[in-house]
């Protein structure tokens, strides 16, 4: 019966011209066994084409064990015991005793994830020479920044000159930049662009009998790591979804990512400024009358995770990511309705700076404000800025500051050998040792640092 239901859903999509030629894996949503066949999906001819810039990543990022990848293509699963100078001590599942593997034989070492998720209380530092890593920032002292590489007070304190730092992201609660629950009689942040919209019984509803799409937009500045949440009511109301990181609020909304439900399909498109769909992803789902979307996107790495009613449906990466956006746009075909729209900035990433702000220190406040001038100091409780013009000295509550970008400095992505952390950050350098739940890496800028191995995803060796 489950297979018949999925077959009927796919037949409907084929009849509508949705299932044609490009290979994209589809999976069932809910308790049913995933569909094993690979189907192709493209949109109708004309405005749409497929460029294939989305890469589908495995949903199960949690490894059951550590793994070593050899330069000759071999792979062993097991457990890393320690790393000495130029040697990995490894216990393989199917090999008796300890295996000693020299660095020159290795391409990559992946470590089992030992933490359930990121700790949003951690800070981040991005270096001018390249690399980004998580720390606990204490304060500035003269021209130096004092921080710890562990969260406990007895972890080693490190000192880093400020002129080596491109930006810092301060830990704390996510910055809520849009919260709309559509209560009747209150102001609605969304402005209609196409079609007529009303607030009705706690829903933001597109009204009218026309089958054409309608859009409503909100001005939301987006950068770094973002989270988007919304509820879509699809009861007899066709389909709908959201454009995120949109460059404009007009008909095309591009550049943007479009995430929506169409029939039984969860669809993701990348849209250009001219309204052309460059990429396409689709999964067959069992849609409830009210579906809750959650989307997380990293503007630096292009990685996107999509959840539907709490179940992770997609894990994608765009190799040419959209770095920032000005609008979020609701899209409805027929009479789709929306509820509880929330947009959060999770911090991290290089903030999108205007030409006026480039070359200056910029302090990003969680309410959306920006202070630019000259950062004089960071302490446990405040950030002190000598604001440009007649602003004078400004003291901002550190808990309200999400990020500080230091003027005239850039942070290229670290390349080559180094260490990769679970938050998609990277620190280039030479791995010196691993043991007792700690990994030591030597970086040109900061010297030797010791990190909790639970933060580490993989170690990349010199090719």
* Residue from 347, 322, 345, 447 nearest 405 by CA: 347
Partners of residue 227 on adjacent β-strands: 296, 344
Cβ-count burial 25-53 (b if 16+ within 10 Å, e if not) = ebbbbeeeeebeeebebbbeeeeeebeee
User: In this structure, are residues 335 and 205 in contact, taking their beta carbons and an 8 Å threshold?
Assistant: yes
Predicted local confidence at residue 410, as pLDDT: 64
User: pTM, whole model, 2 decimals?
Assistant: 0.65
Predicted local confidence at residue 63, as pLDDT: 57
Q: List own/partner pairs for 64-67 with CB under 8 A and 24 or more apart.
A: 64/112, 65/93, 65/112, 66/90, 66/109, 66/110, 66/111, 66/112, 67/109, 67/110
Q: Which two tokens stand for residue 68?
A: 């070593």
User: In this structure, are residues 281 and 24 in contact, taking their beta carbons and an 8 Å threshold?
Assistant: yes
- For the chain, residues with pLDDT lower than 70 are 1-53, 58-64, 113-121, 150-154, 172, 209-211, 235-238, 251-252, 284-287, 347-358, 368, 390, 408, 410-415, 422-424, 463
Q: What is the pLDDT of residues 400-455, one digit of tens each?
A: 888 888 886 766 656 677 877 766 677 888 888 877 778 888 888 888 888 877 77
Kind of pairing between the strands at 106-110 and 99-102: unpaired
CA 199 from chain centre, in angstroms, equals 31
The rounded distance, in Å, linking the Cα atoms of 346 and 336 is: 29
- For residue 267, whether the previous peptide bond is cis, meaning omega lies within 30 degrees of 0, is no
User: In this structure, are residues 238 and 292 in contact, taking their beta carbons and an 8 Å threshold?
Assistant: no
Q: What is the pLDDT of residues 280-318, one digit of tens each?
A: 777 766 667 788 999 999 887 888 989 888 888 888 888
The rounded distance, in Å, linking the Cα atoms of 32 and 47 is: 35
CA 347 from chain centre, in angstroms, equals 10
DSSP 8-class letter at 95: S
Sign of torsion over alpha carbons 49, 54, 59, 63 = positive
Domain formed by 182-262+282-347, architecture? Sandwich (2.60)
In angstroms, the first-to-last Cα distance of the chain is 52
How far are the Cα atoms of 133, 143, 172 from residue 140, in angstroms, in the given order?
18, 7, 19
Residue 331 host element (H or E): strand 325-333
Sign of torsion over alpha carbons 310, 311, 313, 319 = positive
Output the furthest CA–CA distance in the chain (Å, rounded).
Answer: 72
The rounded distance, in Å, linking the Cα atoms of 439 and 430 is: 11
How far are the Cα atoms of 62, 167, 224, 370, 404 from residue 365, in angstroms, in the given order?
34, 14, 14, 6, 9
Predicted local confidence at residue 187, as pLDDT: 85
User: In this structure, are residues 128 and 165 in contact, taking their beta carbons and an 8 Å threshold?
Assistant: yes
Measured CA angle at 116 (ends 112, 118), to 5 deg? 100
The rounded distance, in Å, linking the Cα atoms of 153 and 449 is: 16
């Amino acid at each position: 019966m489950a297979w018949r239901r999925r077959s009927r859903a796919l037949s409907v999509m084929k009849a509508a011209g949705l299932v044609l030629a490009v290979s994209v894996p589809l999976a069932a949503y809910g308790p049913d066994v995933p569909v094993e066949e690979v189907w192709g999906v493209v949109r109708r001819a004309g405005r749409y084409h497929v460029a294939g810039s989305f890469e589908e990543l495995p949903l199960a990022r949690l490894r059951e064990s550590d793994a070593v990848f050899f330069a000759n293509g071999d792979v062993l699963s097991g457990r890393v015991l320690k790393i000495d100078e130029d040697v990995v001590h490894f216990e393989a599942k199917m090999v008796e005793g300890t295996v000693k593997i020299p660095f020159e034989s290795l391409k990559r070492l992946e470590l089992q994830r030992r933490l359930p998720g990121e700790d949003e209380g951690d800070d981040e530092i991005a270096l001018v020479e390249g690399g980004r890593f998580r720390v606990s920032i204490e304060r500035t002292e003269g021209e130096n920044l004092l921080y710890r590489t562990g969260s406990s007070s007895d972890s080693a304190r490190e000192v880093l000159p400020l002129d080596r730092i491109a930006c810092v992201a301060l830990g704390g609660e996510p910055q809520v930049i849009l919260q709309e629950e559509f209560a009747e009689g209150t102001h609605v942040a969304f402005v209609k662009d196409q079609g007529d919209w009303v607030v009705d019984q706690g829903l933001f509803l597109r009204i009218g009998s026309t089958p054409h799409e309608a859009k409503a937009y909100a001005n939301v500045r987006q950068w770094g790591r973002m989270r988007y949440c919304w509820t879509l009511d699809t009861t007899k109301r066709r389909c709908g979804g959201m454009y995120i990181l949109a460059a404009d609020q007009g008909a095309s909304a591009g550049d943007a990512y479009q995430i929506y439900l169409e029939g039984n399909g969860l669809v993701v498109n990348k849209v250009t400024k001219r309204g052309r769909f460059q990429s396409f992803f689709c999964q067959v789902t069992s849609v409830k009358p009210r579906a809750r979307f959650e989307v997380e996107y990293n503007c630096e790495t292009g990685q996107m995770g999509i959840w539907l009613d709490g179940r992770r449906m997609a894990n994608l990466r765009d190799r040419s990511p959209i770095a920032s956006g000005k609008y979020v746009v609701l899209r409805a075909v027929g009479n789709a309705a929306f509820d509880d729209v929330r947009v959060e900035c999770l911090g991290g990433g290089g903030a999108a700076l205007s030409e006026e702000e480039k070359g200056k220190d910029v302090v990003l406040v969680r309410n959306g404000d920006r202070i630019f001038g000259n950062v004089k100091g960071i302490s446990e409780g405040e950030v002190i800025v000598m604001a440009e013009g007649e602003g004078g000295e400004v003291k901002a509550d550190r808990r309200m500051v999400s990020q500080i970008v230091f003027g005239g400095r850039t942070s290229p992505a670290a390349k080559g050998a180094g260490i990769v952390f679970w938050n998609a950050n990277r620190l280039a350098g030479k791995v010196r040792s691993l043991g007792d739940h700690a990994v030591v890496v030597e970086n040109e800028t900061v010297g030797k640092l010791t990190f909790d191995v639970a933060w580490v995803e993989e170690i990349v060796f010199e090719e």
